[in-house]
Chain A
């Protein structure tokens, strides 16, 4: 996926110019938090569960070598082939090698952010495979040639009418109505059914890997993951190290958090455990299964101050609750992961240089942290990245200079007083009795979108207070 994070502001500008999509985002920005709230409220002690899972995950990451070892041993015993991929290219190559070995032609995929990260589709298509995304949202985007705007609902940005037009245009099915959403879903389902049956290789992701059994866990609402996993003769699970959990019970705890945070559901429609290939005497299931564990800088993150990011369960709650995400839309972030979690992951998984606007796309309102089921202090991590930007001199020079001057001024009260007094006087003079100023030479950013409220008085509080005290003592 081509990264356009460097032009975040321009991307956001373009997105905000589309009224229908903007209104759609605002609607979802109200609806999704409501769903999450009711899901969480119906659970009982959600905070205790979140604290518990957070402890389990900290423990797992602290002993990653142990759990990884156990997982690989068990998974291998179950008949899986386990591979490690250092980066995206390695994962893509492993997948195409497997496809080649089986002389595959058709590949079906369940939704997987990890393979978005590695741009696996582009790679496989370039190698001549037919790849079909089978999650409805992903399928729509693939047909439209677009990228996901959300990690849970990848096509949430697309209005129904656009999808209808797309299907009428892309599916060679003659005259038909496609009256409502149900008709759209039925059409996609019909087409996808055949692709599942024809596929040579299925690719899915994982929400959790269980160390003591070697199983992987996947949840979907459409059941497409299960069809990808069970109908084609070969299954490849593409996932990452930080999905590891010690026991099955830990995974069920995690799924509780995940579903409620993502959509407010108590549990996703399909939760499946994958053990490995079909065993003797079994009637269905894949004949051969592979698990590819991608690192792609995760071990670097593990060793860094951003380690908590590895607790992320990809629920999307921080996106749904982020007013910047709602205003600017997911595409503005310019890579795989948008919103608060994306503004941290993108610099960590690509480069801060390429994406230095993202950590600034935050008002520190704290709503993401409040709802994050993984208890990640997202605003703190975003601020820490801004700190790194400053050290790396990635922010504009005038900002850095301004900031240094400001900090110095704040610790030099005499001068601060004189300058604020002067500023207040000039502002009141400029306003000449009006409430606010439309333009200010030194506050371009502000006056681009707002008037500048004038101070209520030509003297600062400190000045007034001092004069009052003096006159009182003089008496």
Chain B
């Protein structure tokens, strides 16, 4: 299978990609990382640049279609390939897009529904037992890919964490890709609501499956002086102790496997 690293993990959080690699290997996969990959093309697509996004989509399809499965540590990038490439392309490319879509998964869904991690190969991290962890559903994962229970189950079984639920768990955090740069004030209002909801849940850590949401929320929390830790769900499932939370400083553990 092939790992779709995602541009945000590549640039901001390599440990998410390393944790993904390790988890996929633990599940028994032979993982390749196509070297020429860049990004799924969402920013342009969502800004209405269908031509540019189409070029990116065709490239991604050609690069990844030889793999049995494509897995991404992101609901929105996987959703882009699964739901939007077929909508964007025509003719033969549409068929190829559909074929790739049927083999593309977000990582927690893949590790639950397709290639489950072997039971009992890991003891839950004791450093996590006293933490109060809430889970943030990213909209694309939730509504495009129906990801809801998978990350929570993995957190429970692999990390010994019973995720706390946010009151408005199905409401967007305000990231929205280019939206947060085009309409920063509205976006920030939405992020603040999500942070308030997180604090109200009693959590001291917010975990999610999409770096976009997490980076945007971490940035808003830092601006508001709110003390919360932000992490991608694979960091907890794999090994919580790899460095600091998102936006909290350099990760000591980054770069190791």
Contacts and interface: CB of A to CB of B under 8 A. Distances in A.
B190 interface: yes
Contacts of B244: 435, 456
A341 interface: no
B74 to A, nearest CB: 13
18 contacts: A12-B186, A364-B179, A365-B139, A367-B172, A383-B46, A387-B48, A403-B49, A407-B55, A413-B38, A416-B38, A435-B244, A449-B188, A453-B218, A453-B247, A461-B9, A461-B17, A464-B18, A465-B14
B73 to A, nearest CB: 11
B184 interface: yes
Given A456-B251, A461-B9, A399 B185 contact: no
Contacts of A324: 183, 186, 190
B33 A465 contact: yes
A449 B14 contact: no
Contacts of B46: 364, 383, 386
Given A403-B43, A445-B184, A411 B56 contact: yes
A451 B185 contact: no
Interface stretch (A243-251, A300-308, A309-317, A420-428): A420-428
B28 interface: no
A413 B219 contact: no
A374 to B, nearest CB: 17
Contact of A363 (B37, B39, B179, B247): B179
A448 B188 CA distance: 9
The 10 closest A-B pairs by CB, nearest first: A363-B176, A407-B52, A386-B48, A453-B247, A450-B219, A449-B188, A445-B181, A365-B172, A461-B14, A387-B48
Which of under 10, 10 to 19, 20 to 34, or 35 or more describes the interface residues of A? 35 or more
Contacts of B49: 387, 390, 403-404, 407
Contact of B176 (A364, A387, A435, A438): A364
B48 A388 contact: yes
B47 interface: yes
Contacts of B5: 461-462
B184 A446 contact: yes
B185 A390 contact: no
A129 interface: no
A420 B219 contact: no
A29 B171 CA distance: 10
A451 B222 contact: yes
Contacts of B239: none
A460 interface: yes
B246 to A, nearest CB: 6
A456 B49 CA distance: 31
Given A407-B52, A456-B250, A448 B185 contact: yes
Given A327-B189, A449-B185, A457 B38 contact: no
Contacts of B11: 420, 423-424, 455, 460-461
B184 A457 contact: no
A160 interface: no
Contacts of B139: 363-367
B212 to A, nearest CB: 10
B32 to A, nearest CB: 11
A327 B191 CA distance: 10
B56 A407 contact: yes
A363 B251 contact: no
Interface string B146-178: 000000000000000000000110111011110
Interface string A434-475: 111010000101101111111111011110111010000000
A452 B222 CA distance: 9
